[in-house]
Amino acid sequence: MLHSFEQLTPLPALPVVPNSWETSHELRRILQDIFINTPRLAHDVFQTKGNFYQAKPLAKHWGKDNVTVLVNAGLLTTHESGGYMNAPYLITEWADNFYLTDFPDTGHEFEVFSPHVEQHGMVDSLTIGPCCCVIEPFVGSGILLLEAVRRGNTGIGIDMSPRALAFARYNADLNGLADRVEFRLGDIQDELPAAIAEINDRPIVILANPPFEPGGEDRPKHSAAGVDGTDALEAMQKIFSGLPPIDQQKISQIHIVTFSLGRKSKQQNTAASDLVVAPIMAGMAEAFGGQCFLKELRRPSAPLDYIRNIFPNDTGEDQTRVADNIYERGYRGIHLVTVSIYCGSQSINPAEVLHWQPYRNNAFGIGPKIPFETPLHRRTMPRKNALVP
């Protein structure tokens, strides 16, 4: 059941303090202290919903002034009894940056997508150096783009949700990155080609964690991506193929994280051997005369088992619904991949290639079946799923 935009809690205004690349927001420094010195309490207050805290113990742990700053910033709510309630936002710390999003699974149509394993995987494997312009279609709360910008790039984020962009701007301000990044409201069909056309002085890198859930018309807009979960990928392919050659040449790398679905179960890498996204990615690589590489962030597994593993914070009902959509469409294997397209003659760092697999050696079952090896892969072996027939 979806709700209207007005039913969502509005984002609080960030208190105005001097803010630049050198001096990030006071609130960020307070959050950093709290997450370092009282990690369990920080998790309780900023990563769980609906808890009450007495005023005195909280002030004792965090300092009275800091608690006041958090209250003024809307990240703690005063309670009539004199204590505090936690805010209706999820606050996540990654690499010393803090990101506000909605909690997962609010049931709201315009829920702002929260950090999941896919952003983590993508950030972990992000190899872009400084001096690029990073453009992120489907930018959401800005996590990927801000991480790329933090490494010395400038950025343009595009999203059709005003609520998502309010969070992205807030997060840019909070982390002292606002002067390097801009956010544009609109459909990627219009805004992505326009942004690419504007940039003439730096190589462009495209990053995307697009919606990629199959089916799920009742799902929040951040995830639903048509019958096979490929609507957003197809839209990007169409945009890239339709760019004038002068704009195509500006793009140096494209990194996309997505589900890959397969029709067979249980065998290792069968999801990859029946990869729904491969032809789309091949089409994108072709538009740029580039090479396309897949990196597996999780080994393939049966859908429900897989969804439970990678979306542990979502409710059971939500996990089952996503998995059902996948089963209904005849898919039995699923895994999470990043797809990287290195455009034109751009050279690739050999150390990186070690862990990457050209899609043609895996996606269509041609060539040796070399198992993927990544640190993530080794940490999380899939559990056996009793629900697969």
Ligand X SMILES: C[S@@+](CC[C@H](N)C(=O)[O-])C[C@H]1O[C@@H](n2cnc3c(N)ncnc32)[C@H](O)[C@@H]1O
Instruction: State which of positions 168-207 bind ligand X (CB under 6 A).
Output: 187-188
The verdict on 224 binding ligand X (CB under 6 A) reads no
Write out 108-162 in H/E/C secondary structure: CCCCCCCCCHHHHHHHHCCCCCCCCEEEEECCCCCHHHHHHHHCCCEEEEEECCH
Choices 1-9, 87-95, 217-225, 364-372; region in contact with ligand X by CB under 6 A = 217-225
Task: Round to whole Å and give the CA distance between 278 and 9.
Answer: 39
CA dihedral of residues 40, 44, 46, 52 (deg, nearest 10): -140
Q: Of the two residues 219 and 308, which places its CB atom closer to ligand X in the complex? A: 219
Task: Round to whole Å and give the CA distance between 151 and 368.
Answer: 36
Q: Of the two residues 187 and 373, which places its CB atom closer to ligand X in the complex? A: 187
Structure tokens at 251: 């793009």
Number of residues that bind ligand X (CB under 6 A): 21
* Member of 70, 156, 164, 178 binding ligand X (CB under 6 A): 164
* Member of 143, 196, 297, 323 binding ligand X (CB under 6 A): 143
Choices 52-60, 218-226, 246-254, 333-341; region in contact with ligand X by CB under 6 A = 218-226
Q: Of the two residues 24 and 209, which places its CB atom closer to ligand X in the complex? A: 209
CB of 330 to ligand X, least distance (A): 23
The verdict on 41 binding ligand X (CB under 6 A) reads no
Task: Round to whole Å and give the CA distance between 244 and 323.
Answer: 39
Helix H or strand E encompassing 213: none
Helix ranges (DSSP H) in 14-116:
26-37, 39-47, 55-62, 64-72
Helix ranges (DSSP H) in the chain:
26-37, 39-47, 55-62, 64-72, 117-124, 143-150, 162-174, 188-198, 231-242, 245-248, 270-273, 278-287, 303-310, 316-328, 350-353, 375-379
Q: Of the two residues 29 and 151, which places its CB atom closer to ligand X in the complex? A: 151
* Member of 120, 151, 221, 238 binding ligand X (CB under 6 A): 221
C-alpha distance across the termini of the chain, in Å: 30
* Member of 144, 272, 297, 322 binding ligand X (CB under 6 A): 144
Choices 24-32, 78-86, 220-228, 258-266; region in contact with ligand X by CB under 6 A = 220-228
Task: Round to whole Å and give the CA distance between 361 and 257.
Answer: 19
Choices 126-134, 156-164, 279-287, 332-340; region in contact with ligand X by CB under 6 A = 156-164
CB of 239 to ligand X, least distance (A): 10
User: Which residue's entry shows tokens 């010195």?
Assistant: 37
Q: Of the two residues 69 and 178, which places its CB atom closer to ligand X in the complex? A: 178
Task: Round to whole Å and give the CA distance between 387 and 384.
Answer: 9
The verdict on 155 binding ligand X (CB under 6 A) reads no
The verdict on 160 binding ligand X (CB under 6 A) reads yes
The verdict on 159 binding ligand X (CB under 6 A) reads yes
Residue at shortest CB range from ligand X: 140
Q: Of the two residues 62 and 98, which places its CB atom closer to ligand X in the complex? A: 98
Task: Round to whole Å and give the CA distance between 39 and 57.
Answer: 15
The verdict on 297 binding ligand X (CB under 6 A) reads no
Q: Of the two residues 150 and 222, which places its CB atom closer to ligand X in the complex? A: 222
Q: Which phi and psi angles does 143 have, rounded to 5°?
A: -55, -50
* Member of 66, 106, 154, 209 binding ligand X (CB under 6 A): 209
CB of 162 to ligand X, least distance (A): 9
The verdict on 161 binding ligand X (CB under 6 A) reads yes
Binding site for ligand X (CB under 6 A): 113, 119, 138-141, 143-144, 158-161, 164, 187-188, 209-211, 221-223
